[in-house]
Chains A and B, each alone.
Chain A
Amino acid sequence: MAAIEISDLSKQFGSVTALQNLDLTVEEGEVFGFLGPNGAGKSTTIDILLNHVRPTAGSARVFGMDVQDESIPVRERTGVLPEGYGPLGRMTGHKHVEFALQAKRADGDPQAILDRVGIAGAADRRVEDYSKGMKQRLMLGMALAGDPDLLVLDEPTTGLDPNGARRMRQIVQAEAERDTTVFFSSHILEQVEAVCDRVGILNQGHLVAVDTIDGLRETAGATGQIRVAMASIPDGLIETVQDRDGVTSVAVEGTTLVVGCENAAKGAVVSDCYGAGIVEDVETSEASLEDLFVSYTGGEN
Protein backbone atom coordinates (compact mmCIF):
# COMPACT_ATOMS: atom_id res chain seq x y z
CA MET A 1 0.00 0.00 0.00
CA ALA A 2 1.23 3.47 -0.82
CA ALA A 3 1.82 5.92 2.02
CA ILE A 4 0.37 8.77 0.01
CA GLU A 5 -1.83 8.42 -3.03
CA ILE A 6 -2.98 11.61 -4.66
CA SER A 7 -5.17 11.36 -7.71
CA ASP A 8 -6.37 14.08 -10.00
CA LEU A 9 -6.32 16.60 -7.17
CA SER A 10 -7.32 20.18 -7.90
CA LYS A 11 -7.84 23.15 -5.64
CA GLN A 12 -9.31 26.46 -6.59
CA PHE A 13 -9.22 29.44 -4.19
CA GLY A 14 -11.75 31.78 -5.74
CA SER A 15 -10.30 32.53 -9.14
CA VAL A 16 -6.83 31.31 -8.21
CA THR A 17 -5.85 27.80 -9.17
CA ALA A 18 -3.56 26.48 -6.48
CA LEU A 19 -3.38 22.89 -7.74
CA GLN A 20 -4.35 21.32 -11.01
CA ASN A 21 -4.85 17.62 -11.65
CA LEU A 22 -2.09 16.50 -9.35
CA ASP A 23 -1.27 12.80 -9.46
CA LEU A 24 1.36 11.55 -7.09
CA THR A 25 2.19 8.36 -5.24
CA VAL A 26 4.66 8.14 -2.39
CA GLU A 27 5.59 4.61 -1.39
CA GLU A 28 5.92 3.48 2.20
CA GLY A 29 9.38 4.04 3.63
CA GLU A 30 10.27 6.54 0.97
CA VAL A 31 11.75 9.98 1.60
CA PHE A 32 10.00 12.21 -0.86
CA GLY A 33 11.03 15.78 -1.52
CA PHE A 34 8.38 18.15 -2.72
CA LEU A 35 10.08 21.00 -4.49
CA GLY A 36 8.82 24.17 -5.98
CA PRO A 37 9.02 27.91 -5.71
CA ASN A 38 6.89 29.77 -3.18
CA GLY A 39 3.25 29.64 -4.20
CA ALA A 40 3.64 26.54 -6.35
CA GLY A 41 1.01 24.64 -4.39
CA LYS A 42 3.18 22.62 -1.98
CA SER A 43 1.47 23.84 1.17
CA THR A 44 -1.95 23.47 -0.42
CA THR A 45 -1.15 19.83 -1.14
CA ILE A 46 -0.02 19.28 2.44
CA ASP A 47 -3.06 21.15 3.78
CA ILE A 48 -5.31 18.83 1.80
CA LEU A 49 -3.52 15.77 3.20
CA LEU A 50 -4.23 17.12 6.71
CA ASN A 51 -7.79 18.17 5.87
CA HIS A 52 -7.05 21.82 6.66
CA VAL A 53 -8.17 22.60 3.13
CA ARG A 54 -10.75 20.73 1.06
CA PRO A 55 -10.00 19.90 -2.55
CA THR A 56 -12.16 21.24 -5.35
CA ALA A 57 -11.80 17.94 -7.21
CA GLY A 58 -9.94 14.69 -6.92
CA SER A 59 -8.96 12.73 -3.85
CA ALA A 60 -6.05 11.88 -1.63
CA ARG A 61 -5.41 8.84 0.53
CA VAL A 62 -2.86 8.27 3.26
CA PHE A 63 -2.15 4.62 4.05
CA GLY A 64 -5.28 3.84 2.08
CA MET A 65 -7.49 6.13 4.18
CA ASP A 66 -9.38 9.01 2.63
CA VAL A 67 -7.94 12.26 3.96
CA GLN A 68 -11.37 13.86 4.33
CA ASP A 69 -13.52 11.02 5.61
CA GLU A 70 -10.83 9.48 7.80
CA SER A 71 -8.82 12.52 8.74
CA ILE A 72 -8.41 11.57 12.39
CA PRO A 73 -6.99 8.07 11.72
CA VAL A 74 -4.74 9.66 9.10
CA ARG A 75 -3.44 12.20 11.59
CA GLU A 76 -3.04 9.58 14.30
CA ARG A 77 -0.39 7.97 12.14
CA THR A 78 1.15 11.19 10.88
CA GLY A 79 3.57 13.61 12.47
CA VAL A 80 3.29 17.10 11.09
CA LEU A 81 5.44 20.18 11.04
CA PRO A 82 2.87 22.55 9.55
CA GLU A 83 3.45 25.84 7.84
CA GLY A 84 2.43 28.98 9.72
CA TYR A 85 2.25 27.28 13.10
CA GLY A 86 1.86 29.09 16.39
CA PRO A 87 2.60 28.06 19.97
CA LEU A 88 -0.11 26.39 22.02
CA GLY A 89 -1.31 28.93 24.53
CA ARG A 90 1.33 29.78 27.07
CA MET A 91 2.74 26.31 27.60
CA THR A 92 6.39 25.41 28.03
CA GLY A 93 8.27 23.36 25.45
CA HIS A 94 8.00 20.32 27.68
CA LYS A 95 4.22 20.75 27.96
CA HIS A 96 3.94 21.12 24.20
CA VAL A 97 5.54 17.74 23.56
CA GLU A 98 3.57 16.18 26.40
CA PHE A 99 0.40 17.57 24.83
CA ALA A 100 1.30 16.11 21.43
CA LEU A 101 2.07 12.73 22.99
CA GLN A 102 -1.26 12.74 24.79
CA ALA A 103 -3.12 13.68 21.63
CA LYS A 104 -1.41 10.78 19.86
CA ARG A 105 -2.29 8.53 22.80
CA ALA A 106 1.37 7.61 22.94
CA ASP A 107 3.83 6.99 25.71
CA GLY A 108 7.12 8.71 25.40
CA ASP A 109 9.53 10.92 27.24
CA PRO A 110 9.06 14.58 26.28
CA GLN A 111 12.53 15.37 27.56
CA ALA A 112 14.11 12.76 25.28
CA ILE A 113 12.29 14.22 22.28
CA LEU A 114 13.37 17.75 23.15
CA ASP A 115 16.90 16.45 23.52
CA ARG A 116 16.70 14.85 20.12
CA VAL A 117 15.77 18.12 18.44
CA GLY A 118 18.37 19.99 20.48
CA ILE A 119 16.31 22.20 22.78
CA ALA A 120 16.35 20.16 25.99
CA GLY A 121 17.82 23.17 27.78
CA ALA A 122 14.77 25.28 26.99
CA ALA A 123 12.24 22.65 28.09
CA ASP A 124 10.84 24.71 30.94
CA ARG A 125 10.65 28.00 29.13
CA ARG A 126 7.45 29.25 27.59
CA VAL A 127 7.41 28.66 23.87
CA GLU A 128 6.14 32.16 23.09
CA ASP A 129 9.61 33.35 24.18
CA TYR A 130 11.45 30.90 21.91
CA SER A 131 13.38 32.10 18.87
CA LYS A 132 12.14 31.18 15.42
CA GLY A 133 14.65 28.37 15.10
CA MET A 134 13.77 26.95 18.52
CA LYS A 135 10.08 26.97 17.67
CA GLN A 136 10.90 25.15 14.45
CA ARG A 137 12.83 22.51 16.40
CA LEU A 138 9.99 22.17 18.88
CA MET A 139 7.48 21.66 16.08
CA LEU A 140 9.69 18.94 14.67
CA GLY A 141 9.79 17.38 18.12
CA MET A 142 5.99 17.45 18.31
CA ALA A 143 5.86 15.87 14.85
CA LEU A 144 8.11 13.06 16.08
CA ALA A 145 5.95 12.43 19.15
CA GLY A 146 4.37 9.00 19.09
CA ASP A 147 6.69 7.60 16.40
CA PRO A 148 4.49 8.36 13.39
CA ASP A 149 4.50 6.19 10.28
CA LEU A 150 4.45 9.28 8.09
CA LEU A 151 6.25 12.55 8.67
CA VAL A 152 4.92 15.55 6.81
CA LEU A 153 7.30 18.48 7.04
CA ASP A 154 6.34 21.75 5.40
CA GLU A 155 9.46 23.82 4.74
CA PRO A 156 11.17 22.30 7.79
CA THR A 157 14.45 24.18 7.56
CA THR A 158 12.97 27.67 7.43
CA GLY A 159 14.50 29.73 10.19
CA LEU A 160 17.10 27.14 11.14
CA ASP A 161 20.78 27.92 11.38
CA PRO A 162 23.20 25.53 9.59
CA ASN A 163 23.49 23.36 12.70
CA GLY A 164 19.75 23.16 12.97
CA ALA A 165 19.38 22.30 9.30
CA ARG A 166 21.96 19.55 9.70
CA ARG A 167 20.20 18.09 12.70
CA MET A 168 16.95 18.20 10.76
CA ARG A 169 18.60 16.19 7.98
CA GLN A 170 20.02 13.68 10.44
CA ILE A 171 16.63 13.21 12.02
CA VAL A 172 14.98 12.71 8.64
CA GLN A 173 17.64 10.14 7.77
CA ALA A 174 17.23 8.35 11.09
CA GLU A 175 13.46 8.26 10.64
CA ALA A 176 13.89 6.92 7.12
CA GLU A 177 16.08 4.13 8.48
CA ARG A 178 13.28 2.96 10.72
CA ASP A 179 10.98 2.94 7.68
CA THR A 180 9.07 6.11 8.39
CA THR A 181 7.77 7.66 5.20
CA VAL A 182 8.89 11.25 4.97
CA PHE A 183 7.16 13.79 2.79
CA PHE A 184 8.82 17.13 2.91
CA SER A 185 8.47 20.30 0.99
CA SER A 186 11.09 22.88 0.30
CA HIS A 187 11.90 25.64 -2.10
CA ILE A 188 15.60 24.99 -1.53
CA LEU A 189 17.06 22.23 -3.65
CA GLU A 190 20.13 21.27 -1.61
CA GLN A 191 18.04 20.29 1.38
CA VAL A 192 16.02 17.90 -0.69
CA GLU A 193 19.01 16.64 -2.61
CA ALA A 194 20.79 15.54 0.54
CA VAL A 195 18.09 13.28 1.97
CA CYS A 196 15.45 12.41 -0.59
CA ASP A 197 14.97 9.21 -2.52
CA ARG A 198 12.66 10.87 -4.98
CA VAL A 199 11.71 14.39 -5.82
CA GLY A 200 8.61 15.95 -7.27
CA ILE A 201 8.86 19.41 -8.74
CA LEU A 202 5.74 21.51 -8.57
CA ASN A 203 5.25 24.69 -10.51
CA GLN A 204 2.12 26.85 -10.58
CA GLY A 205 -0.04 24.01 -9.37
CA HIS A 206 1.31 21.50 -11.88
CA LEU A 207 3.62 18.61 -11.17
CA VAL A 208 6.33 19.16 -13.78
CA ALA A 209 8.74 16.37 -12.87
CA VAL A 210 8.92 13.33 -10.60
CA ASP A 211 12.15 11.41 -10.51
CA THR A 212 14.94 10.12 -8.33
CA ILE A 213 17.76 12.53 -7.60
CA ASP A 214 20.01 10.41 -9.83
CA GLY A 215 17.46 10.47 -12.61
CA LEU A 216 17.24 14.23 -12.39
CA ARG A 217 21.03 14.45 -12.39
CA GLU A 218 21.13 12.42 -15.56
CA THR A 219 18.60 14.68 -17.20
CA ALA A 220 20.54 17.68 -16.04
CA GLY A 221 23.89 16.23 -17.06
CA ALA A 222 22.82 15.69 -20.64
CA THR A 223 22.76 19.40 -21.19
CA GLY A 224 25.25 22.06 -20.35
CA GLN A 225 26.65 25.37 -21.10
CA ILE A 226 29.72 26.55 -22.91
CA ARG A 227 31.30 29.98 -22.64
CA VAL A 228 33.66 31.10 -25.40
CA ALA A 229 35.59 34.30 -24.76
CA MET A 230 36.71 35.93 -28.01
CA ALA A 231 38.63 39.03 -29.04
CA SER A 232 35.48 40.17 -30.77
CA ILE A 233 32.30 38.49 -31.93
CA PRO A 234 32.43 38.19 -35.72
CA ASP A 235 29.32 38.88 -37.78
CA GLY A 236 27.25 35.85 -38.55
CA LEU A 237 28.76 33.65 -35.83
CA ILE A 238 25.68 33.84 -33.61
CA GLU A 239 23.45 32.69 -36.46
CA THR A 240 25.83 29.84 -37.36
CA VAL A 241 25.90 28.57 -33.79
CA GLN A 242 22.17 28.92 -33.39
CA ASP A 243 21.60 26.68 -36.41
CA ARG A 244 23.61 23.81 -34.93
CA ASP A 245 21.66 20.78 -33.79
CA GLY A 246 21.45 20.50 -30.00
CA VAL A 247 21.91 24.20 -29.32
CA THR A 248 19.10 25.60 -27.22
CA SER A 249 20.22 29.14 -26.50
CA VAL A 250 22.85 31.66 -27.52
CA ALA A 251 23.62 34.82 -25.58
CA VAL A 252 26.36 37.42 -25.72
CA GLU A 253 28.01 38.88 -22.62
CA GLY A 254 30.48 41.52 -23.77
CA THR A 255 32.67 39.58 -26.18
CA THR A 256 31.82 36.24 -24.63
CA LEU A 257 29.45 33.87 -26.32
CA VAL A 258 27.28 31.88 -23.86
CA VAL A 259 25.75 28.83 -25.48
CA GLY A 260 23.30 26.44 -23.84
CA CYS A 261 23.42 23.11 -25.59
CA GLU A 262 23.57 19.34 -25.31
CA ASN A 263 27.00 18.16 -24.31
CA ALA A 264 27.47 16.46 -27.69
CA ALA A 265 27.15 19.76 -29.54
CA LYS A 266 29.87 21.53 -27.58
CA GLY A 267 32.72 20.50 -29.89
CA ALA A 268 30.97 21.79 -32.97
CA VAL A 269 30.24 25.11 -31.26
CA VAL A 270 33.90 25.54 -30.33
CA SER A 271 35.08 24.73 -33.84
CA ASP A 272 32.59 27.29 -35.25
CA CYS A 273 34.16 29.92 -33.05
CA TYR A 274 37.73 28.98 -34.05
CA GLY A 275 36.73 29.17 -37.69
CA ALA A 276 35.20 32.62 -37.33
CA GLY A 277 37.62 34.59 -35.12
CA ILE A 278 40.14 34.67 -32.27
CA VAL A 279 39.20 32.49 -29.30
CA GLU A 280 40.76 33.56 -25.99
CA ASP A 281 39.19 31.12 -23.55
CA VAL A 282 36.72 28.29 -23.46
CA GLU A 283 34.79 27.26 -20.37
CA THR A 284 32.35 24.44 -20.28
CA SER A 285 29.99 23.33 -17.55
CA GLU A 286 27.31 20.77 -17.01
CA ALA A 287 23.95 21.95 -15.84
CA SER A 288 23.47 21.55 -12.11
CA LEU A 289 20.33 20.27 -10.48
CA GLU A 290 19.81 23.87 -9.61
CA ASP A 291 19.74 24.82 -13.29
CA LEU A 292 17.32 22.04 -13.94
CA PHE A 293 15.10 23.14 -11.09
CA VAL A 294 15.23 26.68 -12.40
CA SER A 295 14.39 25.58 -15.92
CA TYR A 296 11.45 23.48 -14.69
CA THR A 297 10.06 26.26 -12.60
CA GLY A 298 10.50 28.95 -15.19
CA GLY A 299 12.78 31.10 -13.08
CA GLU A 300 15.45 31.86 -15.70
CA ASN A 301 15.05 35.55 -15.15
Chain B
Amino acid sequence: MDRLLQIARKDFTDAIRDRQLYALGALFLLVGLGIGYLAGSNPDTARGVDVPRIGLGAMAFLGSVAAISMSYNQIVGKRASGELRVLLSLPFSRTEVVYGTFLGRLVLVVAMTTTSIAIAGVLAAALGAPVSASALLAAVVFAAGLMAVFVSLSIGLSAGSVNTTRAAAGAFGLFIVFLFRLWEGVPVAVRYVLNGFSFPSGPSPTWAMVWRQIQPIAAVRNVIAGVEPDLTVALVAYAPGLPDGEPYYAEPWFGAIIVIAWIVLPVTLGYLKLRTADL
Protein backbone atom coordinates (compact mmCIF):
# COMPACT_ATOMS: atom_id res chain seq x y z
CA MET B 1 0.00 0.00 0.00
CA ASP B 2 2.79 2.46 0.82
CA ARG B 3 4.27 1.96 -2.64
CA LEU B 4 0.89 2.60 -4.26
CA LEU B 5 0.69 5.85 -2.31
CA GLN B 6 4.24 6.68 -3.33
CA ILE B 7 3.19 6.41 -6.98
CA ALA B 8 0.05 8.46 -6.31
CA ARG B 9 2.04 11.16 -4.54
CA LYS B 10 4.56 11.25 -7.35
CA ASP B 11 1.80 11.52 -9.93
CA PHE B 12 0.26 14.41 -8.03
CA THR B 13 3.54 16.26 -7.57
CA ASP B 14 4.47 15.68 -11.22
CA ALA B 15 1.42 17.80 -12.01
CA ILE B 16 2.49 20.48 -9.55
CA ARG B 17 5.81 20.69 -11.42
CA ASP B 18 4.02 20.95 -14.76
CA ARG B 19 3.60 24.60 -15.68
CA GLN B 20 1.09 23.81 -18.40
CA LEU B 21 -1.34 22.61 -15.78
CA TYR B 22 -1.25 26.01 -14.15
CA ALA B 23 -3.20 27.42 -17.06
CA LEU B 24 -5.84 24.75 -16.60
CA GLY B 25 -5.92 25.44 -12.86
CA ALA B 26 -6.41 29.13 -13.56
CA LEU B 27 -9.33 28.28 -15.85
CA PHE B 28 -11.04 26.33 -13.07
CA LEU B 29 -10.46 29.26 -10.76
CA LEU B 30 -11.93 31.73 -13.25
CA VAL B 31 -14.98 29.58 -13.89
CA GLY B 32 -15.56 29.32 -10.13
CA LEU B 33 -15.21 33.08 -9.70
CA GLY B 34 -17.45 33.71 -12.70
CA ILE B 35 -20.26 31.51 -11.37
CA GLY B 36 -19.97 33.03 -7.91
CA TYR B 37 -20.01 36.52 -9.32
CA LEU B 38 -23.02 35.91 -11.56
CA ALA B 39 -25.06 34.38 -8.73
CA GLY B 40 -23.90 37.05 -6.32
CA SER B 41 -24.79 39.96 -8.59
CA ASN B 42 -28.51 39.14 -8.35
CA PRO B 43 -28.78 38.18 -4.69
CA ASP B 44 -32.51 38.84 -4.55
CA THR B 45 -33.57 36.46 -7.31
CA ALA B 46 -30.90 33.81 -6.71
CA ARG B 47 -31.90 30.53 -5.13
CA GLY B 48 -29.75 28.47 -2.81
CA VAL B 49 -29.38 25.71 -5.33
CA ASP B 50 -28.22 27.95 -8.19
CA VAL B 51 -24.49 27.98 -7.50
CA PRO B 52 -24.25 24.24 -6.82
CA ARG B 53 -26.31 23.48 -9.93
CA ILE B 54 -24.36 25.72 -12.28
CA GLY B 55 -21.10 24.63 -10.68
CA LEU B 56 -21.87 20.96 -11.17
CA GLY B 57 -23.00 21.58 -14.74
CA ALA B 58 -19.80 23.46 -15.55
CA MET B 59 -17.65 20.76 -13.94
CA ALA B 60 -19.47 18.02 -15.82
CA PHE B 61 -18.02 19.45 -18.99
CA LEU B 62 -14.84 21.30 -17.99
CA GLY B 63 -13.91 18.75 -15.35
CA SER B 64 -14.49 15.79 -17.64
CA VAL B 65 -12.47 17.37 -20.42
CA ALA B 66 -9.68 18.08 -17.94
CA ALA B 67 -9.88 14.58 -16.47
CA ILE B 68 -9.54 12.97 -19.90
CA SER B 69 -6.82 15.25 -21.21
CA MET B 70 -4.74 15.07 -18.03
CA SER B 71 -5.02 11.29 -17.69
CA TYR B 72 -4.99 9.58 -21.07
CA ASN B 73 -1.23 9.85 -21.47
CA GLN B 74 -0.24 9.14 -17.88
CA ILE B 75 0.73 5.50 -18.35
CA VAL B 76 1.25 4.99 -22.06
CA GLY B 77 3.35 8.17 -22.09
CA LYS B 78 5.60 6.68 -19.42
CA ARG B 79 5.75 3.50 -21.43
CA ALA B 80 6.94 5.47 -24.46
CA SER B 81 9.45 7.59 -22.54
CA GLY B 82 11.01 4.71 -20.61
CA GLU B 83 9.82 5.99 -17.25
CA LEU B 84 7.70 2.86 -16.83
CA ARG B 85 10.80 0.68 -17.23
CA VAL B 86 12.46 2.58 -14.40
CA LEU B 87 9.41 2.32 -12.14
CA LEU B 88 9.04 -1.38 -12.86
CA SER B 89 12.73 -1.96 -12.27
CA LEU B 90 12.21 -0.58 -8.79
CA PRO B 91 10.05 -2.78 -6.58
CA PHE B 92 6.73 -1.44 -7.86
CA SER B 93 4.10 -3.82 -9.17
CA ARG B 94 2.05 -2.99 -12.22
CA THR B 95 -0.97 -2.90 -9.93
CA GLU B 96 0.64 -0.16 -7.86
CA VAL B 97 1.63 1.81 -10.93
CA VAL B 98 -1.84 1.73 -12.51
CA TYR B 99 -3.97 2.26 -9.40
CA GLY B 100 -1.46 4.67 -7.86
CA THR B 101 -1.56 6.79 -11.01
CA PHE B 102 -5.36 6.58 -10.99
CA LEU B 103 -5.45 7.79 -7.40
CA GLY B 104 -2.93 10.59 -8.01
CA ARG B 105 -4.80 11.93 -11.03
CA LEU B 106 -8.16 11.59 -9.30
CA VAL B 107 -7.00 13.63 -6.31
CA LEU B 108 -5.65 16.26 -8.68
CA VAL B 109 -8.79 16.57 -10.79
CA VAL B 110 -11.10 16.43 -7.77
CA ALA B 111 -9.04 19.16 -6.10
CA MET B 112 -9.61 21.34 -9.15
CA THR B 113 -13.37 20.76 -9.43
CA THR B 114 -13.91 21.04 -5.68
CA THR B 115 -11.96 24.28 -5.50
CA SER B 116 -13.89 25.71 -8.40
CA ILE B 117 -17.31 24.87 -6.95
CA ALA B 118 -16.30 25.95 -3.45
CA ILE B 119 -14.96 29.29 -4.67
CA ALA B 120 -18.20 29.91 -6.54
CA GLY B 121 -20.16 29.19 -3.37
CA VAL B 122 -18.00 31.34 -1.13
CA LEU B 123 -18.00 34.29 -3.52
CA ALA B 124 -21.77 34.14 -4.08
CA ALA B 125 -22.38 33.95 -0.35
CA ALA B 126 -19.98 36.83 0.27
CA LEU B 127 -21.96 38.91 -2.23
CA GLY B 128 -25.12 38.19 -0.31
CA ALA B 129 -26.72 35.46 -2.43
CA PRO B 130 -28.21 32.40 -0.74
CA VAL B 131 -26.16 29.23 -1.14
CA SER B 132 -27.49 25.91 0.03
CA ALA B 133 -24.67 24.22 1.91
CA SER B 134 -26.14 20.75 1.46
CA ALA B 135 -26.60 21.26 -2.28
CA LEU B 136 -23.07 22.66 -2.54
CA LEU B 137 -21.70 19.62 -0.74
CA ALA B 138 -23.72 17.34 -3.02
CA ALA B 139 -22.40 19.15 -6.09
CA VAL B 140 -18.82 18.69 -4.88
CA VAL B 141 -19.37 15.00 -4.13
CA PHE B 142 -21.13 14.21 -7.40
CA ALA B 143 -18.63 16.18 -9.42
CA ALA B 144 -15.96 14.07 -7.74
CA GLY B 145 -17.85 10.89 -8.63
CA LEU B 146 -18.08 11.97 -12.22
CA MET B 147 -14.36 12.80 -12.26
CA ALA B 148 -13.62 9.35 -10.88
CA VAL B 149 -15.47 7.84 -13.86
CA PHE B 150 -13.56 9.88 -16.41
CA VAL B 151 -10.18 9.42 -14.75
CA SER B 152 -10.86 5.68 -14.60
CA LEU B 153 -11.82 5.59 -18.29
CA SER B 154 -8.73 7.58 -19.27
CA ILE B 155 -6.25 5.75 -17.05
CA GLY B 156 -7.71 2.44 -18.19
CA LEU B 157 -7.32 3.57 -21.77
CA SER B 158 -3.77 4.70 -21.06
CA ALA B 159 -2.77 1.44 -19.38
CA GLY B 160 -4.33 -0.64 -22.14
CA SER B 161 -2.83 1.27 -25.07
CA VAL B 162 0.36 0.10 -26.75
CA ASN B 163 1.36 3.55 -27.96
CA THR B 164 0.52 7.19 -27.41
CA THR B 165 -1.15 7.60 -30.80
CA ARG B 166 -3.79 5.02 -29.98
CA ALA B 167 -4.31 6.50 -26.54
CA ALA B 168 -4.85 9.93 -28.07
CA ALA B 169 -7.35 8.50 -30.53
CA GLY B 170 -9.06 6.75 -27.63
CA ALA B 171 -9.22 9.97 -25.63
CA PHE B 172 -10.90 11.67 -28.57
CA GLY B 173 -13.30 8.72 -28.64
CA LEU B 174 -14.13 9.28 -24.98
CA PHE B 175 -15.08 12.89 -25.71
CA ILE B 176 -17.28 11.87 -28.60
CA VAL B 177 -18.95 8.92 -26.90
CA PHE B 178 -19.61 10.43 -23.49
CA LEU B 179 -19.58 14.22 -23.77
CA PHE B 180 -21.02 14.49 -27.26
CA ARG B 181 -23.44 11.67 -26.53
CA LEU B 182 -22.59 9.21 -29.24
CA TRP B 183 -23.44 6.61 -26.60
CA GLU B 184 -27.17 7.21 -27.17
CA GLY B 185 -26.73 6.71 -30.88
CA VAL B 186 -25.69 3.09 -30.38
CA PRO B 187 -29.17 1.63 -29.75
CA VAL B 188 -30.50 3.69 -32.64
CA ALA B 189 -27.86 2.24 -34.94
CA VAL B 190 -28.42 -1.29 -33.65
CA ARG B 191 -32.17 -1.05 -34.11
CA TYR B 192 -31.67 0.42 -37.56
CA VAL B 193 -29.57 -2.58 -38.58
CA LEU B 194 -31.90 -5.10 -36.88
CA ASN B 195 -34.83 -3.51 -38.65
CA GLY B 196 -33.37 -4.29 -42.06
CA PHE B 197 -31.57 -0.97 -42.53
CA SER B 198 -34.57 1.25 -42.04
CA PHE B 199 -35.56 3.34 -39.07
CA PRO B 200 -37.73 1.43 -36.63
CA SER B 201 -41.02 2.83 -35.45
CA GLY B 202 -42.69 2.39 -32.10
CA PRO B 203 -41.33 2.79 -28.58
CA SER B 204 -37.76 1.93 -27.64
CA PRO B 205 -37.34 -1.62 -26.41
CA THR B 206 -36.26 -2.06 -22.78
CA TRP B 207 -32.65 -2.88 -23.61
CA ALA B 208 -32.32 0.43 -25.44
CA MET B 209 -33.80 2.26 -22.46
CA VAL B 210 -31.43 0.51 -20.07
CA TRP B 211 -28.50 1.29 -22.35
CA ARG B 212 -29.34 4.99 -22.21
CA GLN B 213 -29.56 4.99 -18.42
CA ILE B 214 -26.26 3.22 -17.84
CA GLN B 215 -24.40 6.01 -19.59
CA PRO B 216 -22.16 7.23 -16.75
CA ILE B 217 -23.42 10.81 -16.60
CA ALA B 218 -27.02 9.56 -16.69
CA ALA B 219 -26.20 7.13 -13.89
CA VAL B 220 -24.71 9.95 -11.77
CA ARG B 221 -27.80 12.03 -12.50
CA ASN B 222 -30.06 9.16 -11.39
CA VAL B 223 -28.21 8.97 -8.08
CA ILE B 224 -28.52 12.74 -7.64
CA ALA B 225 -32.28 12.42 -8.21
CA GLY B 226 -32.47 10.41 -5.01
CA VAL B 227 -30.32 12.78 -2.96
CA GLU B 228 -30.66 16.35 -4.18
CA PRO B 229 -33.30 16.38 -6.96
CA ASP B 230 -32.87 20.10 -7.68
CA LEU B 231 -29.36 19.38 -8.94
CA THR B 232 -30.32 16.91 -11.68
CA VAL B 233 -30.94 19.68 -14.16
CA ALA B 234 -27.21 20.45 -14.05
CA LEU B 235 -26.49 17.39 -16.18
CA VAL B 236 -29.34 17.78 -18.63
CA ALA B 237 -27.01 18.62 -21.49
CA TYR B 238 -24.87 15.50 -21.09
CA ALA B 239 -27.33 12.72 -20.38
CA PRO B 240 -30.56 11.38 -21.83
CA GLY B 241 -33.65 12.31 -19.88
CA LEU B 242 -35.23 10.34 -17.07
CA PRO B 243 -37.69 7.77 -18.40
CA ASP B 244 -41.33 7.77 -17.35
CA GLY B 245 -42.71 5.38 -14.79
CA GLU B 246 -39.62 5.13 -12.58
CA PRO B 247 -38.30 1.84 -13.90
CA TYR B 248 -35.67 0.08 -11.76
CA TYR B 249 -32.84 1.04 -14.10
CA ALA B 250 -33.46 4.72 -13.42
CA GLU B 251 -33.58 4.29 -9.64
CA PRO B 252 -30.86 5.91 -7.54
CA TRP B 253 -29.61 2.58 -6.14
CA PHE B 254 -29.24 1.17 -9.64
CA GLY B 255 -27.47 4.35 -10.73
CA ALA B 256 -25.10 4.01 -7.77
CA ILE B 257 -24.15 0.48 -8.81
CA ILE B 258 -23.60 1.64 -12.38
CA VAL B 259 -21.46 4.59 -11.29
CA ILE B 260 -19.31 2.31 -9.12
CA ALA B 261 -18.94 -0.07 -12.06
CA TRP B 262 -17.85 2.84 -14.27
CA ILE B 263 -15.24 3.81 -11.69
CA VAL B 264 -13.91 0.32 -11.02
CA LEU B 265 -14.09 -1.47 -14.36
CA PRO B 266 -12.32 0.75 -16.93
CA VAL B 267 -9.13 1.19 -14.92
CA THR B 268 -9.19 -2.50 -14.02
CA LEU B 269 -9.60 -3.61 -17.63
CA GLY B 270 -6.68 -1.38 -18.61
CA TYR B 271 -4.64 -2.85 -15.79
CA LEU B 272 -5.44 -6.41 -16.89
CA LYS B 273 -4.26 -5.56 -20.40
CA LEU B 274 -1.04 -4.07 -19.08
CA ARG B 275 -0.47 -6.89 -16.61
CA THR B 276 0.17 -9.42 -19.34
CA ALA B 277 1.98 -7.07 -21.72
CA ASP B 278 5.66 -7.33 -22.61
CA LEU B 279 7.19 -3.90 -22.19
Contacts and interface: CB of A to CB of B under 8 A. Distances in A.
Contact of A88 (B3, B10, B91): B10
B85 interface: yes
Contacts of A102: 6
B227 interface: no
Interface stretch (B76-84, B119-127, B168-176): B76-84
A283 to B, nearest CB: 48
Nearest to B80: A86
A50 B89 contact: yes
A148 B241 CA distance: 60
A54 B276 CA distance: 8
Contacts, number: 76
Contacts of A91: 10, 14, 17
B81 A71 contact: no
A169 to B, nearest CB: 22
A88 B77 CA distance: 11
B170 to A, nearest CB: 22
B85 A72 contact: no
Given A47-B279, A53-B279, A75-B90, A99 B10 contact: yes
Contacts of B93: 71-72
A92 to B, nearest CB: 10
Nearest to A72: B91
Given A13-B278, A104-B90, A85 B82 contact: yes
A140 interface: no
Contacts of A142: 86, 90
A85 B79 CA distance: 10
A50 B86 CA distance: 11
B198 to A, nearest CB: 44
Interface string A72-89: 110110001011111111
B83 A53 contact: no
B278 A86 contact: no
A106 to B, nearest CB: 11
Interface in A132-159: 139, 142
Given A75-B91, A103-B91, A89 B14 contact: yes
B85 A89 contact: no
Given A89-B14, A99-B10, A103-B3, 16 more contacts: A52-B85, A52-B278, A71-B93, A72-B93, A73-B91, A82-B89, A85-B82, A85-B89, A86-B78, A86-B86, A87-B81, A87-B86, A102-B6, A103-B6, A103-B92, A104-B90
19 contacts: A13-B278, A53-B278, A54-B276, A75-B91, A85-B82, A85-B85, A85-B89, A86-B81, A86-B85, A89-B14, A89-B17, A90-B17, A90-B18, A91-B10, A91-B17, A99-B10, A103-B90, A103-B92, A104-B90
